[in-house]
Amino acid sequence: MDGKLIIFSAPSGSGKTTIVRHLLAENTNLGFSISACTRDRRGRAEQNGKDYYFLTPDEFKHKIDAGEFVEWEEVYVGAFYGTLKSEIERLWASGKHVLFDVDVQGGLKLKKYYGDKALAVFVRVPDEETLRQRLIGRGTETEDSLSKRLFKVHFEMSFQDQFDVVLVNDDLQTSFRKAQKLVDDFVSEGKVPERGAIL
């Protein structure tokens, strides 16, 4: 099988995890790239080895030194996230195309590394107030982590033109359909939308 990669990146709160989870539930030929990270687990809502590989900062640094990451980022001060080479190999070996939920910088690094084998999708909300409301509504953020996430939004938005396609996540069911079509076209025919397309 010609294993492909589909990358979803976005400012936090834009809906990439929601879209990625939906695609995984609907497509048995897709597998999720479980990232390594050093942030704390969100209680029972997250499991080690399913949502993330939760590592200590020392374990993470050791893997950087050993060259085990295809990309890694300090996404927020003191919080490291990265994609393990072994994860992509594991999923390809099981016959799956790999789906990523990574930050904007990480998404661009993966796209650069894998080129035409990868489709890089930038997810964005219609406006910033919607983003704030969604982050608050998710109920996962403290005041501090909320402001860290909102602080990064403008910087992250400035990279959207470098992605293959921008998906505006307004009505969720419509977004699911747009994402599914992107995956279908890319996986079956290697089709990528016209440069600069905003869906």
Query: Angle of helix 16-26 relative to helix 172-189, nearest 10 degrees?
Result: 60
With tokens 């085990």, the residue in question is: 68
Residue type at 90 in one-letter notation = R
Note whether 160 binds ligand ADP by CB under 6 A: no
- DSSP bridge pairs for 54: 37
Q: Which of residues 160-189 bind ligand 5GP (CB under 6 A)?
A: none
Segment contacting ligand ADP by CB under 6 A, of 9-17, 29-37, 44-52, 55-63: 9-17
String of contacts with ligand 5GP for each residue 20-49, x by CB under 6 A: ---------------x---x----------
Note whether 16 binds ligand ADP by CB under 6 A: yes
129 three-state secondary structure? helix
Q: Among ligand ADP, ligand 5GP, none, what binds residue 88 when CB lies within 5 to 8 Å by partner kind?
A: none
Note whether 111 binds ligand ADP by CB under 6 A: no
With tokens 């290697």, the residue in question is: 190
Per the structure block, which two tokens stand in for 143? 């005041």
Q: Outline where the chain has alpha helix (H).
A: 16-26, 57-65, 85-93, 104-114, 128-138, 143-157, 172-189
Note whether 14 binds ligand ADP by CB under 6 A: yes
Residue pair 80/37 in contact (Cβ under 8 Å)? The answer is: yes
Among 114, 169, 179, 186, interactor with ligand ADP by CB under 6 A: 169
**Which CB, 1 or 136, lies closer to ligand 5GP?**
136
Q: Which of residues 86-115 bind ligand 5GP (CB under 6 A)?
A: 101-103, 105-106
Q: What CA–CA distance (Å, rounded) separates 187 from 199?
A: 18
Segment contacting ligand ADP by CB under 6 A, of 22-30, 61-69, 108-116, 168-176: 168-176
Note whether 81 binds ligand 5GP by CB under 6 A: yes
Q: In terms of C-beta density within 10 A (0-12 exposed, 13-18 middle, 19 or more buried), how is residue 53 classed?
A: middle
Which spans of this chain sit near ligand 5GP (rule: CB under 6 A)? 12, 35, 39, 71, 73, 75, 81-83, 101-103, 105-106
